[in-house]
Every structure is written in C-alpha cells, then in structure tokens.
Amino acid sequence: MRRGRLTCIVDVVGGLPRTERIYIRDSYARECRSEVLRVVRDRGAKRYLVLDRTVFHPLEGGQPSDRGEIVGERFSLTVKKALSSAGVVAHYGTISGEDPQPGDAVTCRLDWERRYLIMRLHTAGHILDAAVSEVFGGPVNTLGANHGPPEAHVDYAARLPSEDELGRIERIASEIVSDDLQVRVRFVVPEELESSAYNAPNLDRLPEAPVYRLVEIPGRNSIPCTGTHVARTGEVGGVRVLGATPLRGGFRLSYWVTRP
Ligand SMILES: [Zn+2]
C-alpha cells in the first residue's frame, strides 16, 4: 500500500467489503476473533488495520471511537481510534512486533471501562432527548452530540432553556433512569419506520437505508441509531445536567452520568 505523510482513509478501505459490526447486535461484546483483510503502513509504527469483523465502534453518530487492542500471533496493535468509510471500519494505532498479513487471525479487545461509560452516556443522551421533548412539547432536532469522554453534550435546535426548565429536564431524566426501563434494539425496513419510530429527533433528515436500527426506551422514544447502549435505563446510574450554553441555531446541553 501507499506510504506517505498523509494516509487517506479512502485508500485504506478501498475495494474492501463492509465490516461486520458485532456491536450492532451485541453492545456487550468486549472481544472477538477476526481475520486481517488489509494492513496499511503510516508514519513510524503507526498502522491502519482492516478486519472482516470488529467489536470496535468507530467515531460516528455522535459517539466517539472505542479504544483497545488487536492482538495476533506476532504483533499487537494499540488501537487509538477506529474510523469508518464506505461501511468499512479501519483501526488505527501503534504496532509492536511484526506486521500481520492478510488472512491472519487476530483477537480484538476493547478498553471496556471506556466503552461501558460511552454506553451509559449514549443511553443518557436518548433519555435527555425524551426529557427535552417533554419540556419543549415535542421532539427537538439535534445539531450534533458527543456521547463520550472527556465532556458529553447534545446540541439542540431550540431556544435556550431557563434554569427552571433545565431543572425539569434533569428531573424527568432521573425519573426515566429510576423506572429502570428496558432499552430495546430492533431492526425495521423503511416502510415500517413511520409506525415504529416515535418522539425521535431528525426524522425529517434521516439518510436512506435498506434497514433501520431503532433504539427504544418504551413509552419515551424510539430513535434510529447505530450506537451502543446499555440494556436498561437503570444501568445509566444517574443523569446530571451540567448546564446549557447558546450556540448558533440552538443550545448545547452538557451532561454527565453518575453512579446511583
Ligand atoms: Zn443514538
């Protein structure tokens, strides 16, 4: 593969099949066995590694990249980030040992502490969507989000809430956590979307797809989302609203999760 100062992700993934993303069906999978499809050398000991399947969630959909390691017989790669392009996930990090070859078997292992925190933060984000929609009288579109460390937020396309409204948002979120509702993940075809997604932001600008993955907090909202979530709202622990700041076209709601 090409070696250069700047490696282009399109070159890394070009011509490869879409990566099987194990977390889509099982967010709790911490480890998997995979096959190496391509290795791309970057500067020094930096490498891009593409596999047939992965447990690593790449940076996308407001969820930060997982970290962890990929270990083979003669090498290990400390994964600093995972990126996605054209449905293919590339793992980027520092290698020690010999470069693996296409066809080699490897084990992917997540930094689980970080991932589990991200799962709690992402579910907390959907809980806040529900709380904000209750306070504003309907679903509010989002402009962006970061459901992960070091600082979690959701950017909403609405006017800045008052202190009183922020207090209500946090109270409603806490109620949803203490109700310990099951977080349901299911798959629907586009024709079923209208009847199965509800109280969800951004439905008016959903990209076309043959199948949608819905994440539902029963009775609160059902949102098209490809991220990783905890199985019950109680696992979030607690949601703390840290504040709201004005943004162009809306406001940023900063939050974090706490242990009960
Ligand atoms: Zn989501």
**Residue 2: inside a domain, yes or no?**
no
Which residues have beta carbons under 5 A from ligand 1 (an ion)?
A: 225, 227
* Total domains in the fold of the chain: 2
Distance 61 CA to ligand 1 centre (A): 7
**Do 198 and 104 fall within a single domain?**
no
Same domain, 136 and 215: yes
For residue 243, the CA-to-ligand 1 centroid distance in Å is: 21
Ligand 1 mean position, distance from CA 256 (Å): 16
Domain boundary among 110, 133, 158: 110
Q: Sheet of 212-217: strands edge to edge?
A: 184-188, 212-217, 221-224
In a domain, 4, yes or no: no
- Expressed in angstroms and rounded, the spacing between residue 124 Cα and the centre of ligand 1 is 9
What would the mean pLDDT of 252-257 be, rounded to a whole number? 98
Q: Do 254 and 127 fall within a single domain?
A: yes
pTM of the model: 0.95
- State residue 259's pLDDT score: 85
pLDDT digit string, tens, across residues 41-57 = 999 999 999 999 999 99
Give 141 Cα–ligand 1 centroid separation in angstroms.
13
Both 135 and 95 in one domain: the answer is: no
**Among the three residues 110, 126, 141, which one is the final residue of a domain in this structure?**
110
For the chain, give the mean pLDDT. 96
What is the rounded distance in angstroms from the CA atom of residue 163 to the CA atom of residue 161? Answer: 7
Whole-number Å distance between alpha carbons of 80 and 227: 19
Q: Is residue 240 part of a domain?
A: yes
In angstroms, what is the span from residue 25 Cα to ligand 1's centroid? 15
Q: Are residues 196 and 183 in the same domain?
A: yes
Residue 85 lies in a domain: yes
pLDDT at 7: 79
Residue 190 lies in a domain: yes
- Give the CATH number of the domain where residue 211 resides: 3.30.980.10
**CA of residue 155 to ligand 1 center, whole Å:** 13
Range of the domain at 181: 115-258
Q: Which of 110, 126, 155 is the last residue of a domain?
A: 110
Question: Does residue 72 share a domain with residue 121?
Answer: no
Q: What's the pLDDT tens digit per position in 214-245? A: 999 999 999 999 999 999 999 999 999 999 99
Percent of the chain with pLDDT strictly greater than 90: 93
Q: Let me know if residue 106 belongs to a domain.
A: yes
Residue 1 has pLDDT above 70, yes or no: no
**Would you say residue 3 lies in a domain?**
no
Q: Are residues 137 and 228 in the same domain?
A: yes
Cα of 43 from ligand 1 centre, angstroms:
34
Beta bridge partners of 223: 215
In a domain, 1, yes or no: no
pLDDT of residue 66 exceeding 90, the answer is yes
How confident is the model over 134-187, as pLDDT tens digits? 999 999 999 999 999 999 999 999 999 999 999 999 999 999 999 999 999 999
Report the separation in Å between the CA atom of 108 and the middle of ligand 1, taken as the mean of its atom positions: 24
Q: State whether 154 and 231 are in the same domain.
A: yes
* Shared domain check, 242 and 193: yes
156 and 127 within one domain: yes
Ligand 1 midpoint to CA 82 (Å)? 18
Overall average pLDDT of the 74-99 stretch? 97
Q: How far is the CA of 38 from the centre of ligand 1 (A)?
A: 30
The alpha carbon of 129 and the centre of ligand 1 are apart by a number of angstroms equal to 10
Are residues 222 and 122 both part of a single domain?
yes
- Say whether both 40 and 103 belong to one domain: yes
Q: Which candidate, 232, 231, 214, places its Cα nearest to that of 223?
A: 214
